[in-house]
Chains A and B, each alone.
Chain A
């Protein structure tokens, strides 16, 4: 492994919420081009890890550190993390009535461009980009004029998350239970979008309960998290073992 090329390095991370320790010492390294899957039973700390990476308030880091491209990630606000190339796909995307999806993503894209010293996209350029990226997740234009996620089905919300990701082109995408609540077709579309966005330069962390997403998105590494720490890391074959035997055999070895 080339240690010079670490995009994300999590070292001994302990996190509390309301004085309850949720993460009890997480270590993880992610390099460009890699896909990591984080699995584990409910309540093991998967979503907490994603929230902390994205900068959600009320999560107190009591120990450890997170380095992103060599810098202390914990110093950055959520929007600064976004500008730096981190994207969080939500398990439950938030509805924002009154803000159209197109205005929302346009605001976001232009904020990103501003930070890169690029001029705002013209209306025509933006529309062209948007149409192209919507096609990644088979969204039609009716989604753009509606309020962000308002009245979207579960599958549409998740497709919209991947559409946002496609527009923002993150270096590190963290997808929190992107597969939950999806039927087979929606799962295929969402996974297709994620795969299409994969490059040798970016990395993806998919957080999931189920092996089925990993039929579509092939991870390089699988980590099982339990009681706030990673208890097992292995290659993609681990997913099949979990599918077959559940988590108990891993947990019972603790």
Chain B
């Protein structure tokens, strides 16, 4: 399996990550081509295999190929296996890149997987990713999306509970400014009993940024003892930012615990005043509030080094230091 994700020594320094995380292997995909490996990328963990290191897959769009790109990545976690994946996507120039990506994630019995997805592209880029997820008995999947920057970022997640006692934890943080659009569509299908799903998606929207959230939980007639929760919270920083949220529950079983909730709001004035009375200037206080709002999602990242790095990326972004990302890009993940 290991040759599946080598560091790609032939990679030119232009693409190389200057600050890799500890205990993390990196794999690069440049304009859809896996560097030093087979395209499309696929990873299979064998029964009982535990990935000690995290695998960071860094997909970049480079100006040498400006056409619409369709790519695919497949992950299969065998029985009782466990692994952690970081998926990063970047554009290296402000060209009108269009990327359509399909990702399949299959967890066999008692497998456990964590996906951290970091999306950081230029304003002209449009990136749409469709995740097809299937979970078997006792499987556990965590996915945390960090949509930092990009013209249009769309994530579609189709998640099926095919066997009992599986659990998934989905979380996302999206940050928009200028005229960016972040679009999350989540379909969670509870087809069998005794499964648990959690969704927490939060967004901070500035300027004329737009966010759309569509979340549907479907609980089939047989899917008793389902626990399914969904929350979407949006913070509007400017008068022109917009959030559309559509949380939906469709329940055909009668012994379930489900909830959904959505809010669109502004920064809390009482918090702001409290911080200002301690001498923290209003602008700084607002950043702190936004960091605090974002933190609930970021604390889902169990690796502390990765969490700290994401937190500092979010903070830089909130301070408006991320718009010119052609230089920052190499330090970002």
Asked if residues A98 and B277 are in contact (CB atoms below 8 Å), the reply is no
Asked if residues A98 and B276 are in contact (CB atoms below 8 Å), the reply is no
Asked if residues B293 and A98 are in contact (CB atoms below 8 Å), the reply is yes
Asked if residues B273 and A57 are in contact (CB atoms below 8 Å), the reply is yes
Q: Is A230 an interface residue (CB 8 A)?
A: no
B281: chain A residues at CB < 8 Å are 79, 111
Name the contact of A78 in the complex, choosing from B277, B293, B296 (C-beta under 8 A).
B277
Asked if residues A97 and B296 are in contact (CB atoms below 8 Å), the reply is yes
Interface centre among A55, A99, A111 (most CB of B within 10 A): A99
Asked if residues B273 and A99 are in contact (CB atoms below 8 Å), the reply is no
Q: Please, how many angstroms separate the alpha-carbon atoms of A79 and B275 in the complex?
A: 8
Closest partner residue, chain A, to B299 (CB atom): A98
Q: Please, how many angstroms separate the alpha-carbon atoms of A213 and B271 in the complex?
A: 27
Q: Is A164 an interface residue (CB 8 A)?
A: yes
Q: Is B289 an interface residue (CB 8 A)?
A: yes
Q: Is B288 an interface residue (CB 8 A)?
A: yes
| Chain B: interface size category | 20 to 34
Q: Please, how many angstroms separate the alpha-carbon atoms of A235 and B295 in the complex?
A: 50
A112: chain B residues at CB < 8 Å are 279
Asked if residues B295 and A168 are in contact (CB atoms below 8 Å), the reply is no
Asked if residues A168 and B274 are in contact (CB atoms below 8 Å), the reply is no
A98: chain B residues at CB < 8 Å are 291-296, 299
Name the contact of A79 in the complex, choosing from B279, B291, B294 (C-beta under 8 A).
B279
Asked if residues A111 and B292 are in contact (CB atoms below 8 Å), the reply is no
Taking the nearest CB of chain A, how far is it from the CB of B273, in angstroms? 6
- The stretch of A8-16, A82-90, A236-244, A245-253 in contact with B is A82-90
Q: Please, how many angstroms separate the alpha-carbon atoms of A71 and B270 in the complex?
A: 26
Name the contact of B275 in the complex, choosing from A81, A96, A115, A168 (C-beta under 8 A).
A96
Q: Please, how many angstroms separate the alpha-carbon atoms of A87 and B274 in the complex?
A: 11
Q: Please, how many angstroms separate the alpha-carbon atoms of A108 and B288 in the complex?
A: 12
A168: chain B residues at CB < 8 Å are 278-279
B53: chain A residues at CB < 8 Å are none
Q: Please, how many angstroms separate the alpha-carbon atoms of A229 and B263 in the complex?
A: 41
Chain A residues 101 to 137 lying within 8 A of chain B, measured CB to CB, are 104-105, 107-108, 111-112, 115
Asked if residues A164 and B278 are in contact (CB atoms below 8 Å), the reply is yes
Interface residue total, chain A, C-beta cutoff 8 A: 29
Q: Is B269 an interface residue (CB 8 A)?
A: yes
Asked if residues A82 and B274 are in contact (CB atoms below 8 Å), the reply is no
A90: chain B residues at CB < 8 Å are 274, 277
Q: Is A93 an interface residue (CB 8 A)?
A: yes
Chain B interface SS verdict (over half): helix
B280: chain A residues at CB < 8 Å are 79, 104, 107-108, 111
Q: Please, how many angstroms separate the alpha-carbon atoms of A79 and B281 in the complex?
A: 6
Taking the nearest CB of chain A, how far is it from the CB of B235, in angstroms? 12
Q: Is B305 an interface residue (CB 8 A)?
A: no
Q: Is B284 an interface residue (CB 8 A)?
A: yes
Asked if residues A78 and B271 are in contact (CB atoms below 8 Å), the reply is no
B69: chain A residues at CB < 8 Å are none
Name the contact of A108 in the complex, choosing from B270, B278, B289 (C-beta under 8 A).
B278
Asked if residues A104 and B276 are in contact (CB atoms below 8 Å), the reply is no
Chain B residues 285 to 327 lying within 8 A of chain A, measured CB to CB, are 288-289, 291-296, 299
Task: Knowing A56-B273, A93-B274, A96-B274 are in contact, say whether A111-B279 is a contact too (CB < 8 A).
Answer: yes
Q: Is A77 an interface residue (CB 8 A)?
A: yes
Taking the nearest CB of chain B, how far is it from the CB of A172, in angstroms? 12
Asked if residues A54 and B277 are in contact (CB atoms below 8 Å), the reply is yes
A1: chain B residues at CB < 8 Å are none
Q: Is B282 an interface residue (CB 8 A)?
A: yes
Asked if residues B279 and A83 are in contact (CB atoms below 8 Å), the reply is yes
Taking the nearest CB of chain B, how far is it from the CB of A206, in angstroms? 16
Q: Please, how many angstroms separate the alpha-carbon atoms of A122 and B267 in the complex?
A: 31
Asked if residues B279 and A96 are in contact (CB atoms below 8 Å), the reply is no
Interface centre among A77, A96, A168 (most CB of B within 10 A): A96
B292: chain A residues at CB < 8 Å are 96-99, 147
Known: A94-B271, A112-B279. 11 other contacts (CB 8 A): A56-B273, A79-B276, A79-B277, A98-B291, A99-B292, A104-B275, A104-B288, A107-B280, A107-B284, A108-B275, A111-B280
B-side residues, CB < 8 A to A, are: 269-271, 273-282, 284, 288-289, 291-296, 299
User: Closest 9 A-B residue pairs measured CB to CB?
Assistant: A98-B295, A98-B292, A82-B279, A78-B276, A94-B274, A108-B278, A79-B276, A111-B279, A88-B277
Provide 9 A-B residue pairs closer than 8 Å at the C-beta atoms, listed in order of the A residue: A55-B277, A79-B281, A96-B271, A97-B296, A98-B295, A98-B299, A99-B288, A115-B279, A147-B292
